[in-house]
Amino acid sequence: MIFHQLALNVPLFPLLTYAHPTILAAGTRVAVRFRKRLMTAIVWESNIQPDIDIKKILPIEVVFEDDWLLPSDWRELLTFTARYYHYPLGQAVSSALPKGMREPKTIALPVADKVYKLSKLGRKQNAPAARFHKQLALWHRLQTSAVSLTQLKAEHNQAERYLHKWQQLGWIEADSVSSCGIIPASQYQLNSQQQQASHTVQAGLDRFAPYLLYGVTGSGKTEVYFDIMAKVLQQGKQVLFLLPEINLTPQLLQRVHQRFPHTATALLHSQTASGERTRNYLRAALGQAALIIGTRLAIFTPLQNLGLIIIDEEHDHSFKQQTDLRYHARDLAVWRAKQHACPIVLGSATPSLESWYQVKQHQYQLLQLTQRAHANAQLPKIHLLDTRRLPLDQGISEVIKQKLQKNFQQGGLSMVYLNRRGFAPALFCSACGHAFGCPNCSAKMVLHQYSKQLRCHHCDFHQPIPHSCPECGNQDLTAVGQGTQRIEENLQKLLPEAKIIRVDRDSTSRKQDWDNIYNQINNHDVDVLVGTQMLAKGHDFPHLNLVVVLNADNSLYSADFRAPERLFAELMQVSGRAGRANSSGEVWVQTQQPEHKVYQALVAHDYIAFASAELAEREEMNMPPYTHMAAIRADAKTMNAAQELLRQVLKGIRQHEQLSAKVHIFGPVPMLMARLAGYERAQVFLESNQRKELHQTITLWDNWLTFLSKYYNRTRWLIDVDPMEM
Ligand code: ADP
Ligand code: ZN
């Protein structure tokens, strides 16, 4: 028997030993029993000396011979990821595989796309008779040029059947296609800044080089990505293009398709149906797809021939996974680019302070686009309205009402932004002041008028709207504050003739919702858009000329040190929607703190000043990116139980171990949102400017937690390296 180290999806154990009569190549997918259950596992190492009693070692039950091997660079990536994020390797491996490969079953490998054309023999045949009009159409198509199977299938639903028949008769021949295909020229002539950015990257395609493409909204970053991508694809290499889920819009995909119509593309995001995701993962892995577009999870796609990574909206927080394996796709992407010796371009109009810091440290090269690309487009003029002095009517000031009315009369498109969906963010009893909080979370419940519910936006809890106060019985309940539904209603009263569309998670829950909205906007059927973040990101509505921000101040009161950075990015994004084409844009922001640095920088369109000031503050307070952090979290039914485990570990660590003096430990303290989905959450922060010492200390915590948590079996714990949540 030969012994193998396998990665399988079980907690705590790094790798498990199983036996097989022959040597298996590392990367082979197999199925084994673990506690009686048949599970998928990946061979990590073959022919090892087991350090346990070999009589206890179970055999590998199935070897999926027909699979392809998970390549060594992919295994290195996962080894690194598991180590860096202090997460069990087998579980990390499992979460990096699509569902189809996690199940202990054989998978069908996708077949490479082929192009078909008539053979010599075929050209001597008579075309099918006219009454078989479907066959005839297909035949004519093959006569004119070589066409790919995907294309033919899209045009003729029976294509595969006839192709098969004609191929057997020798009438047509198939050729495999290059996955990059022919790339037509761009419809745009890049301006000089765009050219310079693109050329800089293109000058070093064969080595690792990280770039930060900092370009104001509408400056044509996407065209720069496309220009570099075209070059890399033409060299026969693969491109990985990552973007936030919310930006993966039909509009973006349409742009990609227009620019790369013949390039084999694989789309990977959480909403891709499971079978399709497995297929696309494999197409990418087998080199059948040249362009891989996806959200954070796409970072784990095996790519043999990677030539370029693009991260659009690199500052976006959705690149960090907030559950299970808490990886940051942007950071892993930089690691992967280094591994594959290829360039990586991080793009944003408001780069993360982490990336900006790398530029200041000369680790990343800065590429800048300072102007809008469209010839007549100007950055919008941004105005602040001090709501301490202006009376608000249902959350809207008179100035804004007039602006909206005027823009409607003149046929413009307006956008009203607020980051709260639902009707009103809170419901109160007007007699005793009782607030309807979520029983499971430290959060108020949001009133949803249309579904007649109070809903918690943090967990699944919801209930019918109560008729009276549970504490005093009073029936007069007051909805406080503004949500998108309420603003939509009020705007409809203000502009009875206007076509108003609300865009938030509630109104776009079905797949076709966005398509409908886009069509209406493009046909100029919409006058006012009301919505949340969903409206802010990545969209290009050329005729949008008025943006109104209603209440953004909330996050200024947050104790999270990243709150100002986040708010600034959000407001720059929202403002950036205005005036992207011929019409110049205006932005009006209601705030109670117009003097705040976030708003001042916003008005001045001055990211650089904001970033410099913010970095100076972080340096002074010794916060990331000047220091490295990890959070150790515990949750339990009571805050005391959650903190107790952390206190005991801390005690153990302080007593017995050589703790590095270079690592500072804070806590345990409650998380900012202390209660979530029925659990009280506590945390300890580890902080150091030495990564190595930090990781050594995390390992200590990991070991102690593993050991002690047996005695606290009602308390769950986790490790979050480079946490984004406080
Ligand atoms: P960003 O990604 O920086 O926000 P986009 O790439 O979406 O900007 O470009 C903004 C608009 O400018 C788009 O409508 C795009 O088609 C257009 N555009 C980009 N580059 C050029 C160019 N060189 N000439 C003319 N228009 C351009
Ligand atoms: Zn809740």
Residue 207 and residue 91 share a domain: no
Nearest atom within ligand 1 for CA of residue 538: 4
For the domain that residue 300 is a member of, what is the CATH number?
Answer: 3.40.50.300
- The answer, yes or no, to whether residue 145 has pLDDT greater than 80, is no
Which residue of 195, 345, 371, 540 sits with most ligand 1 atoms within 8 Å of its CB, as the best mutation to test the pocket?
Answer: 540
Check pLDDT > 80 for residue 476.
yes
Task: Tell me whether residue 448 is in a domain.
Answer: no
The ligand 1 atom at the shortest distance from the C-alpha of residue 375 is 25
- Read off the CATH number of the domain in which 690 is found: 3.30.70.360
Is the predicted pLDDT of residue 38 greater than 80, yes or no? yes
Q: What is the mean pLDDT of residues 467-495?
A: 92
What's the pTM?
A: 0.90
- For residue 64, the model assigns a pLDDT of 92
Residues 387-393: what's their mean pLDDT?
A: 89
pLDDT of residue 112: 78
- Say yes or no: 572 and 596 in one domain: yes
Q: What's the 674 CA to ligand 1 centre distance in angstroms? A: 43
What is the CA(355)–ligand 1 centre distance, in A? 23
- Centre of ligand 1 to C-alpha 530, Å, is 24
Q: Where do the H-state alpha helices sit in 473-562?
A: 484-494, 511-522, 533-536
The pLDDT tens digits for 433-471 are 899 999 999 999 999 988 899 999 999 899 999 999 999
Tokens 């050594």: give the residue: 696
Identify whether residues 547 and 600 lie together within a single domain. Answer: yes
Ligand number with the minimum distance to the CA of 457:
2
Edge-to-edge, what's the strand order for the sheet holding 628-636? 664-676, 679-688, 628-636, 716-721
Q: What are the Cα distances from residue 418, in Å, to 394, 422, 552?
A: 13, 11, 7
Same domain for 292 and 403? no
Task: Reply yes or no on whether the pLDDT at 110 is more than 90.
Answer: no
Query: What residues pair up with 337 in beta bridges, in sequence order?
Result: none
User: Does a structural domain hold residue 205?
Assistant: yes
Both 359 and 390 in one domain: the answer is no
Q: How confident is the model at residue 166 (pLDDT cuts 50, 70, 90)?
A: confident
Mean pLDDT for 373-398 is: 88
- Ligand approaching nearest to the C-alpha of 252: 1
- Token pair 């346990």 in the structure block, residue: 52
- Cα 3 to Cα 18: distance, rounded to the nearest angstrom: 6
For ligand 1, the distance from its centroid to the CA atom of residue 225, given in whole angstroms, is 11
One domain, residues 37 and 168? no
Best of 192, 196, 223 for a ligand 1 pocket test (most atoms within 8 Å of beta carbon)? 223
Ligand with minimal distance to 576 CA: 1
Residues 6+ apart with CB under 8 A from 699: 86
Counting from 1 in the atom list of ligand 1, the atom nearest the Cα of 374 is 26
Any long-range contacts for 199-203 (C-beta under 8 Å, 24+ apart)? 200/365, 200/367, 201/228, 201/343, 201/345, 201/367, 202/228, 202/231
> Could you say which ligand is closest to the alpha carbon of residue 677?
2
Listed residues 586, 617, 648: the one ending a domain: 617
Residues 416, 550: contact at Cβ < 8 Å?
Answer: yes
- What's the confidence (pLDDT) of residue 450? 87
Residue 614 structure tokens: 């913010």
Q: Is 280 exposed, middle or buried (0-12, 13-18, 19+ CB in 10 A)?
A: buried
**Do 406 and 495 belong together in one domain?**
yes
In a domain, 239, yes or no: yes
Pick from 397, 321, 364: nearest CA to 87: 321
Question: CA torsion 278→282→284→286, rounded to 10°?
Answer: 180
Q: Over 90: is that where the pLDDT of 491 sits? A: yes
Q: Which ligand is nearest to the CA of 441?
A: 2
- How confident is the model over 402-410, as a mean pLDDT? 95
Q: What is the pLDDT of residue 563?
A: 92
Q: Is residue 254 part of a domain?
A: yes
Predicted confidence (pLDDT) per residue in 616-641, tens digit: 999 999 999 999 999 999 999 999 99
Helix axes 133-144, 159-168, angle to 10 degrees: 70
Question: Is the distance from CB of 454 to CB of 424 less than 8 angstroms?
Answer: no
Residue nearest (by alpha carbon) to ligand 1 atom 23: 190
Domain shared by 91 and 126, yes or no: no
Show the ligand 1 pocket: residues with CB < 6 angstroms.
188-191, 194, 215, 217-223, 373-374, 540, 580
474 inside domain: no
Query: Alpha-carbon distance 252 to 247, whole Å?
Result: 8
Is residue 115 over pLDDT 80?
A: no
CA Rg value for the chain: 29
Please determine, for residue 262, whether its predicted confidence score (pLDDT) is greater than 90. Answer: no
pLDDT at position 176 is 66
Ligand closest to the CA atom of residue 538: 1
Residue 659 in any domain: the answer is yes
Could you identify the atom of ligand 1 that is nearest to the CA of residue 312?
Answer: 2
User: Would you state the pLDDT for residue 167?
Assistant: 83
Tell me the β-bridge partners of 293.
241, 267
Give the sign of the dihedral formed by CA 48, CA 303, CA 78, CA 33.
Answer: negative
Q: Write the pLDDT tens digit of every residue in 19-31.
A: 999 999 999 999 9
DSSP 507: T
Residue 325 within any structural domain of the chain: yes
Q: Residues 609, 642: one domain?
A: no
Cis bond upstream, residue 302 (ω within 30): no
Better pLDDT: 612 or 179:
612
Are 610 and 524 in a shared domain? yes
**CATH assignment at residue 91:** 3.40.1440.60
- Whose C-alpha lies nearest to ligand 1, atom 20? 220
pLDDT at 337 (0 to 100): 98
* pLDDT value, residue 117: 83
What is the whole-number distance in angstroms between the Cα of residue 296 and the centre of ligand 1?
24
> Ligand 2 mean position to 444 CA, how many Å?
8
Pocket test of ligand 1: the residue of 191, 213, 222 to mutate, having most ligand atoms within 8 Å of its CB, is: 222
Boundary-marking domain end, from 69, 102, 135: 102
Report CA(327)–ligand 2 centroid distance (Å): 25
**Contact yes or no for 289/264 (Cβ under 8 A):** yes
CA of 254 to the centre of ligand 1 (A): 14
Q: Looking only at Cα atoms, what is the longest distance across the chain?
A: 91
Confidence of residue 538 (pLDDT cuts 50, 70, 90): low
Per-residue pLDDT averaged across 62-77, rounded? Answer: 90
* Ligand 1 atom with the shortest distance to the CA of 215: 3
**Cα of 17 from ligand 2 centre, angstroms:** 42
CA distance 318 to 136: 50
Domain count along the chain? 5
Beta carbons of 607 and 701 less than 8 angstroms apart: no
Distance 257 CA to ligand 1 centre (A): 16
Strands 679-688, 628-636: pairing kind: antiparallel
Boundary residue ending a domain (595, 617, 639): 617
Q: What is the pLDDT of residue 713?
A: 83
* Ligand 1 nearest-atom number relative to CA 223: 6
pLDDT digits (tens, 9 = 90+) for 343-359: 999 999 999 999 999 99
How much distance in Å is there from the Cα of 371 to the middle of ligand 1? 10
Query: Does 40 share its domain with 96?
Result: yes
User: What pLDDT shows up at residue 654?
Assistant: 85
C-alpha 305/C-alpha 285 separation (Å) is 9
Does residue 599 belong to any structural domain of this protein?
Answer: yes
Domain that holds residue 90: 2-102
394 and 521 in a common domain: yes
Whole-number percent of the chain with pLDDT over 90: 67
